[in-house]
A and B are shown apart, each in its own frame.
Chain A
């Protein structure tokens, strides 16, 4: 009977594969859906490392300190119970990847090496060169391939989930997915569905995210009753490389290994950076935050860089500042940061070992996501969330190298929870009463209507407009009038969407229909982010309003919860679990006060 359960996982990145491995290891079958071959998931883009207080550097690090750094860095918006559990699990997660054969960078003794990252004073980040996400994803990909060969994992690569299948009691009973090659739609029954689809960066058009990070499947869940929490908390990474097609990430590990951020002291100084003497450079993060320097948390570093440029002190008056590694020996840089320095050189042309990089903040990560409880259960029975698509760990701001960790943790918690549920759930007549067929028909109808769209609007241009308005108004600095205008604009785009031109009569492997469906779902999620930001009149973590510059715990130490309605998202608020650590003001100019465990 052990194999009678049916579990579906949507998303083959770190969280989805972590869950798939755990379920298969327990001897159960999994259907794994992924838009791209799982080895090409967005997790490969993570660079710097994975946090875990293994404490090999004699610094007295501990899971409690990791927990405290994470909660403090998140400006106290995260529920503390799951954060604490994650930090306690972190060392064994790193060891597990070590056993799987991840080529983590090593010390002379042959032990795992650790580097520093933002928002902490400890060397807590294990890394594999500067392509840690790629290496961790591959390790899980390999383990899951083993279970695929053993017949426990069935992969549906090149399939996109379109909607969950709900029964009359709002219980999730499976999903409808589309084969992106044939455009065939099919309903799959499942006792439990684990969503692990990553973030929604494509809403901003250009971000550090991969093209598959549309948030579309999560938006579909939201539109069918799943709650979406803290959507307004969007991390803008301090250091990215602006490009026309995307903003390429320049990892925080560059600063972890000693990189320094500066601008010329004199605005409009046109000298090449190497010719500007140190005394004529303004290391603005080090000056303002002596204790953490260049390794202040991302929300703070981003605002400072943004402000420096806004004040006209960016390089050449433009929106760029220097990220300088040239004081570190070139061979050491190659060894520790090779992969990311290659990316910079490949796309910009300068070698960062000899020429300071020019960088600017870029949309990077969503702290918000599907609401889940401490076992990764959404409010919809049978529907689970893990990884960036859930909201549970990072509060108002994520610390660097905590994302890989939270993906694996989420997958490791969701898997046994979903299994437990699946073993006990009553199927009743849900496999024969037509709910799957009904949802399938509904989804086929949406496709049929889209195919017939013979209007005048180009969907890629609509997407550009969405990205621009979101980037202008719903990123680093937020004003209520502009947030309202942004929501109006999204509504206008949704109106114009009705007049779409699909312009592809050949449905075989067409990208026009899938993209149109994603775009609609992005509009819905963009409204959650924008209206959530509009409602929250305070500044906390990545959410900053000059008109409400202070954190306001009295009114806003609360989780935002959005529920779908046709008209506009409906918001309610939930208390945050602060059972372990009393909220205190963040101050990165000095070391944290001593905390007792």
Chain B
């Protein structure tokens, strides 16, 4: 196939194994202990982690021949845009729908895959977690534009292509939690985390959103606020939507600092 403009062909798995071994970290209930079930499924081209889990669900028998309950996991869009199917795959947090088996095997060099739930959220059962805290963070930072009403008041403010493009990048956040899982600072409720900060940036950049920017900045100024970022920059590396999270933290932190120093003058 011809190569154009430096376009790279994707690496392919040349010697695929006959079978893949899938270890799933399981838990019956939030407060019960974790255990592992190992399954084996025949290798096929174009498998992703979801297909593997679907295969197991149709025949939930472990390598040692035990019939077990089908593993529980969350999935919905399967196009990496709803964020629900996030889990830890061979130690890396990502969406299981877009985690292709060939890529995983190429990277690990073996034939085994380990699936475990995210660790920073309550583990409901097996691979399913409860990310309610992330939505609570969105409430806390007032992640919306204040409208007078949803009736016909004409068009919104004119926006430059540059501002639109930066806002669009932040607006693609699907609240999947990869950034929080990878963040060394975040442990439950001690730090509001990158996703909420990026949403503050998204709304503060909007001409109407800016009118209420102080509400959002103040939400980031308490003990669990933006000051807890340790600048490890893990978030930006794991974000599946490529949000410029470190930029959002940097810009917002500057706004918070200025607001902290001079905000009282405007009151």
Residues of A within 8 A of B (CB): 21-22, 25, 36-37, 39-42, 44-45, 92, 95-96, 98-106, 108-112, 128-129, 131, 134-135, 138, 142-143, 145-146, 148-149, 181, 210-212, 243-246, 248-249, 272, 274-275, 330, 335, 339, 343, 346-347, 349-351, 353-355, 458, 460-461, 464, 503-506, 508-512
Contact = CB atoms under 8 A, between A and B. Distances in A.
Nearest to A155: B135
6 pairs of A and B residues whose beta carbons are closest in the complex = A98-B156, A110-B158, A142-B144, A349-B10, A103-B168, A509-B125
Contact of B70 (A109, A249, A355, A504): A504
B70 A210 contact: no
A455 to B, nearest CB: 14
A145 B139 contact: yes
A243 B46 contact: yes
A42 B5 CA distance: 36
Interface in B48-75: 48, 50-51, 54, 57-60, 67, 69-70, 72, 74-75
A101 B172 contact: no
A330 B69 CA distance: 48
A148 B135 CA distance: 11
B216 interface: no
A129 B59 CA distance: 41
Nearest to A242: B46
A245 B78 contact: yes
B201 interface: no
A106 B160 CA distance: 7
B203 A101 contact: yes
Interface in B140-159: 142-147, 149-150, 152-156, 158-159
Contact of B135 (A39, A96, A246, A458): A39
B105 interface: no
A101 B209 contact: yes
B267 interface: no
Size class of B's contact patch?
35 or more
Given A460-B58, A509-B128, 7 more contacts: A37-B131, A103-B171, A272-B1, A339-B81, A347-B100, A511-B72, A512-B69
A100 B206 CA distance: 9
A142 B145 contact: yes
Contacts of A244: 44, 46-48, 51
B15 interface: no
Contacts of B74: 36
Contacts of A145: 135, 138-139, 143-144
A343 B79 contact: yes
Contacts of B165: 103, 335
B98 interface: yes
A149 B159 contact: no
A465 B209 CA distance: 50
Given A211-B76, A509-B124, A511-B72, A135 B171 contact: yes
